[in-house]
């Protein structure tokens, strides 16, 4: 979707704003209309505040109507493609478009239980979660009472909205919706950054299945040219960074045994705060290594 600037929004008439932002809240162009009255917006945060305030200030009936308009997560509509493009993109980012039959059945069962209790579908900002984390959310939130869960669901919508605004509108300020995952390989055998080390980042689900996220190679400073993850939330999930130090040390003549004591070093860690910076360095010799959550 084409980006627009906040300036352009500030100069639009009501109809233009509804055209531009009417679908940021799923099937609820009225939110953009209400927000229109708060123009001009000093920044993206102000626009976000105006839109979410419109929903927070609405009566319970209108809020519930908003919640009801959301599609089931990993539901029949999603399967058949009958959801908005934004929803489609978001559900696919968490892998919900390629569930096993078993997972699909689990989601179906939880959706039904949830709707039976709360009267609206389960809503979660899927871009902040891996599949396991969504299922854990589902189970935890099923124990909420109705007003508590209505607030929780609206908050999830606000997170979805923040991410949509972040992608759609450019402004002088940015919403705090991005995390960052970085690494750094230090060779303390030679006292230098380790350059040319092959790195893989995979996501691991609770069943032990892995999904490759990216491959990279360290540069002269022992870092990757770009963060491993940036400009998006880091989904709450378990990850493994794999560092091919065996090849690196062999190239530098530092290994003297065959097979080398350390070859591919896996570092497994979980992300709990999608908007935080996770720095996961590797300090390594052919015979030792350490890692930590850095900054």
Indicate the residue among 117 and 189 with the shorter CB distance to a second copy: 189
286 binds a second copy (CB under 8 A): yes
190 binds a second copy (CB under 8 A): yes
Cα separation, 105 vs 99, in Å, equals 9
Indicate the residue among 51 and 134 with the shorter CB distance to a second copy: 134
27 binds a second copy (CB under 8 A): no
Out of 26, 236, 249, 274, the residue judged to bind a second copy by CB under 8 A: 236
Q: What is the residue-wise DSSP string for 221-251?
A: TSS-SS-SEEEE---BEEEEEEEEHHHHHHH
Indicate the residue among 85 and 258 with the shorter CB distance to a second copy: 258
Active site residue 70: yes
198 binds a second copy (CB under 8 A): no
Out of 37, 61, 101, 191, the residue judged to bind a second copy by CB under 8 A: 191
Please say whether the beta carbons of 244 and 195 come within 8 A: no
Per the structure block, which two tokens stand in for 194?
């380790």
By three-state DSSP, how is residue 185 classified? Answer: strand
Indicate the residue among 68 and 293 with the shorter CB distance to a second copy: 293
Rounded least distance, CB 219 to a second copy, Å: 11
Rounded least distance, CB 141 to a second copy, Å: 14
For 84, list phi and psi in degrees, rounded to 5. -65, 160
Per the structure block, which two tokens stand in for 50?
């105006």
Indicate the residue among 2 and 257 with the shorter CB distance to a second copy: 257
Rounded least distance, CB 241 to a second copy, Å: 11
221 binds a second copy (CB under 8 A): yes
Stretch that binds a second copy, among 86-94, 110-118, 152-160, 183-191 (CB under 8 A): 183-191
Calculated CA dihedral for residues 86, 89, 90, 96, nearest 10 degrees: 140
Stretch that binds a second copy, among 10-18, 28-36, 98-106, 187-195 (CB under 8 A): 187-195
> Residue 169: which of 14, 13, 24 has the closest Cα?
24
Cα–Cα distances (Å) from 117 to 62, 71, 75, 144, 146, in that order, read: 19, 17, 17, 10, 8
By three-state DSSP, how is residue 106 classified? Answer: helix
Please say whether the beta carbons of 29 and 66 come within 8 A: no
237-244 vs 229-232, strand pairing mode? unpaired
Rounded least distance, CB 202 to a second copy, Å: 12
238 binds a second copy (CB under 8 A): yes
Q: Which of 70, 108, 189, 277 is catalytic?
A: 70
277-279 vs 179-182, strand pairing mode? parallel
Cα separation, 82 vs 88, in Å, equals 9
Q: Which residues bind a second copy (CB under 8 A)?
A: 133, 186, 188-193, 221-222, 236, 238, 257-266, 268-270, 272-273, 283, 285-295
Catalytic residues: 70
């Amino acid at each position: 979707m084409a980006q627009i600037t906040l300036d352009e929004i500030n100069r639009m008439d009501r109809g233009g704003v509804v055209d531009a932002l009417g679908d940021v809240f799923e099937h609820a162009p009225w939110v953009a209309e209400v927000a229109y009255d708060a123009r001009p917006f000093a920044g993206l945060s102000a626009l976000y505040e105006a839109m979410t305030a419109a929903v927070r200030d609405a009566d319970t009936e209108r809020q519930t109507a908003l919640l009801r308009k959301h599609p089931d997560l990993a539901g029949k509509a999603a399967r058949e493609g009958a959801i908005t493009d934004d929803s489609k993109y978001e559900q696919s980012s968490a892998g919900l478009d390629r569930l096993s039959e078993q997972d699909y059945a689990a989601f179906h069962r939880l959706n039904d239980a949830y709707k039976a209790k709360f009267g609206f579908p389960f809503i979660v900002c899927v871009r902040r979660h891996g599949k396991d984390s969504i299922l854990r959310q589902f189970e935890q939130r099923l124990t909420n009472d109705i007003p508590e869960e209505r607030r929780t669901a609206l908050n999830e919508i606000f997170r979805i909205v923040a991410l949509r605004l972040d992608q759609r509108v450019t402004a002088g300020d940015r919403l705090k919706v991005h995390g960052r995952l970085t690494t750094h390989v230090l060779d303390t055998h030679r006292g230098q950054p380790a350059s040319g080390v092959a790195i893989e980042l995979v996501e691991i689900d609770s069943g032990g299945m892995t999904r490759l996220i990216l491959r990279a190679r360290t540069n002269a400073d022992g870092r990757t040219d770009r963060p491993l993850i940036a400009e998006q939330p880091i989904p709450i999930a378990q990850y493994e960074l794999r560092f091919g130090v065996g090849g690196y040390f062999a190239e530098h003549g530092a290994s003297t045994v065959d097979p080398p004591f350390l070859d591919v070093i896996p570092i497994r860690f979980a992300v709990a705060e999608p908007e935080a910076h996770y720095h996961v360095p590797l300090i390594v010799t052919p015979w030792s290594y350490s890692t930590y959550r850095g900054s």
